[in-house]
Amino acid sequence: MFKLILLLFVLTFSLFAANTLTCTVVNDDEILKIKCKYNTVSKDYDRNISISWTSPTTHHDDRMKTLLLPAYNKSVYDYRYFDGRAEGSWTITVTDEETNSQTSTEFIKEDLKEAITPTP
């Protein structure tokens, strides 16, 4: 009975889970990177997820990348090197190409510790 209740709770929670996009600064081997991780609901088929980095000042610094989110997985991530990125307010937008649903977040490079998508 306990397993059934636990299973129902997990399934109910997963149905109402919102897509989230979190960006943090990570230090890998003394190299600073901005890592953005997109979490979504797991599905039983592969999906393409597009991640768009929009620079506040220099368009040559923009980037659009399409990633494969394999079946039964819930997250993908992309990163950019911190050094060499333009100062100011960056916009990161993730698009699920199956549903065209978008999730966005913004961060100011100088203030970035963590940027999280606001929950509706």
CATH code assigned at 104: 2.60.40.10
| pLDDT value at 115 more than 80 | no
CA-based torsion, 56, 22, 97, 33: positive or negative: positive
The answer to whether residue 12 is domain-embedded is no
The answer to whether residue 2 is domain-embedded is no
- Report, as an integer, the average pLDDT of 55-83: 92
Range of the domain at 73: 18-116
- Mean pLDDT across the chain: 81
The answer to whether residue 78 is domain-embedded is yes
Amino acid letter, residue 81: Y
User: If 0-12 CB within 10 Å is exposed, 13-18 middle and 19+ buried, where does residue 25 land?
Assistant: middle
pLDDT at 58: 82
pLDDT at 79: 93
pLDDT at 9: 46
Model confidence at 28, in pLDDT bands (50, 70, 90)? confident
| pLDDT value at 117 more than 70 | no
Number of domains in the chain: 1
pTM: 0.74
The answer to whether residue 5 is domain-embedded is no
The answer to whether residue 96 is domain-embedded is yes
pLDDT at 63: 94
